[in-house]
Amino acid sequence: MMLLLDIGNTNLRWGLSDGGPPDEVRVVRHCAAVPLDLLADWERLNTPERVVASNVGGASVATAIGRATRAYWGLDVEFVQTRAHFGALRIAYPAPERFGVDRWLALVAAHRLVPEAALIVDAGTAATFDLLLADGRHLGGLILPGVEMMRASLLAGTLIPRIASEPTDEPWAVDTGPAVAAGSLQALAALTTRLYDRLEQQAQTPPALILTGGDAERLIPAMDRPAQVVPDLVLRGLFEVVSGEEAQAVG
């Protein structure tokens, strides 16, 4: 049994792998430390054989998680790093270390999940867009502020009042709060459509559109291309990488 961790900018997702991707995924906000409810859950776990993690949340949370796993089970966390090549997957960045490990693991999982080209949208604190051809060639990607960061930056730089609101079913709004709420979702959805169509032209066949991240479900109503939400995409990629390493070791 392995404990798999996806440490994002804001949230930590974790699950137990017993020969496959985690059946159940838990999500907590980490605030650059170890949440008490996470420790409470881990106190009830049997000792895992390994703890494997993806971390883009910073050094402090990584250090705190490492202390907890050593205290509970005497295990160090194995942090996965981005690689230029993994199987047929080849990332476009000339400097792999500059490509976020969460984005890389999402590509690993997407390439295993669907046979066609894919546009992977991770709607978290930041929104990332990555284009992948069916043969494993990563074309590159884009990064924007996520939904909440986009709204917060607009409100911080203007005198628009902070009105808690979610967009209506229409892509536009008739009041300021809903206009801000709808604008952030429609901006990400519009860029998704543009990239999807460009990828379809290059692949010469409709690609898969895979959404992940904490705001993936919020984006669905704004999408005008068929999409599937895979909340545990990074954890699935983590499992694929660990499984591939173990297969190579046995071979």
Say whether 93 counts as a known binding-site residue: yes
For 165, half-sphere exposure in the C-beta direction (CA atoms, 13 angstrom radius) is 19
Q: What is the pLDDT of residues 9-46, one digit of tens each?
A: 999 999 999 989 898 999 999 988 888 899 999 999 99
Active site residues: 102
Query: 116-233 is classed in which CATH architecture?
Result: 2-Layer Sandwich (3.30)
Q: CA torsion, points 229, 87, 250, 74, in degrees to nearest 10? A: -50
Q: What is the pLDDT of residues 139-185, one digit of tens each?
A: 999 999 999 999 889 888 887 777 666 656 677 888 887 888 889 99
Q: Nearest to residue 225, comparing CAs of 214, 242, 210?
A: 210
Considering only the top CATH level, what class is 2-79?
A: alpha beta
Q: What is the pLDDT of residues 56-97, one digit of tens each?
A: 999 999 999 999 999 999 999 999 999 999 999 999 999 999
The structural domains of the chain, with segments of one domain joined by +, span: 2-79, 116-233
Same CATH fold assignment for domains 2-79 and 116-233: yes
Say whether 6 counts as a known binding-site residue: yes
Q: What is the pLDDT of residues 92-125, one digit of tens each?
A: 999 999 999 999 999 999 999 999 999 999 999 9
Say whether 76 counts as a known binding-site residue: no
| Cβ count near 175 (within 10 Å) | 11
Say whether 55 counts as a known binding-site residue: no
Say whether 212 counts as a known binding-site residue: no
Q: Which amino acid is at 4?
A: L
